[in-house]
């Protein structure tokens, strides 16, 4: 990842310890991280600032994942979204296949997996931002 432009990451996990561990790993990778613990705060922060990646935990109690993803797309359809998951990939493909989830990251994950996610998301973010800029002309 280029050091002259840090990746801006919005992280939402309702579990404080997990959120802090992931936040620490993201800092070590070189990201600027904004972390939140609830949906309202996440959507507010997402509305207020441009991010290169949003990471959220699908296991948040009472979360309507599809509804949440629709709200994100209304705010900014060009920001890559990663969902932290625990079940097999087929479950998520069947349940959320037509949504704007760009990446699945399976818990528990290691530093190297998170680093790969950030690198892939940064590239996708660049491409999506270029597409958004070209579409605005």
Residue 56: what are its φ and ψ, rounded to 5°? -140, 160
Q: How much is the pLDDT for 1? A: 47
Mark residue 81 as left, alpha or beta (left: phi above 0; alpha: psi -120 to 50; beta: remaining).
beta
Closest by Cα among 74, 76, 30 to 50:
76
**Helix/strand/coil for 80:** coil
**Helix/strand/coil for 8:** strand
Cα(117)–Cα(104) distance, rounded to whole angstroms? 9
Extents of the domains making up the chain: 8-136
Distances 14 to 57, 63, 70, 79, 89 between C-alpha atoms, Å: 8, 11, 20, 21, 22
For the whole model, what pTM was predicted?
0.88
Residue 136: other Cβ atoms inside 10 A: 6
The architecture in CATH of the region 8-136 reads: 3-Layer(aba) Sandwich (3.40)
Sequential pLDDT tens for the chain (137 residues): 444 468 999 999 999 999 999 999 999 999 999 999 999 999 999 999 999 999 999 888 898 989 999 999 999 999 999 999 877 667 667 766 667 788 988 888 999 999 999 999 999 988 887 876 665 53
């Amino acid at each position: 990842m280029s050091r002259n432009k840090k990746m801006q990451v919005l992280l939402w996990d309702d579990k404080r310890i997990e959120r802090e561990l992931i936040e620490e790993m993201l800092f070590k990778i070189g990201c600027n991280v904004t972390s939140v613990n609830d949906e309202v705060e996440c959507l507010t922060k997402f509305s207020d600032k441009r991010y290169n990646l949003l990471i959220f935990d699908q296991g948040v109690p009472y979360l309507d994942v599809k509804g949440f993803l629709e709200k994100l797309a209304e705010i900014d359809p060009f920001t890559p979204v990663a969902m932290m998951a625990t079940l097999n990939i087929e479950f998520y493909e069947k349940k959320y296949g037509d949504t704007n989830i760009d990446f699945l990251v399976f818990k528990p994950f290691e530093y190297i997996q998170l680093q790969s996610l950030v690198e892939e998301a940064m590239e996708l973010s660049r491409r999506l931002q270029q597409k958004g800029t070209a579409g605005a002309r």
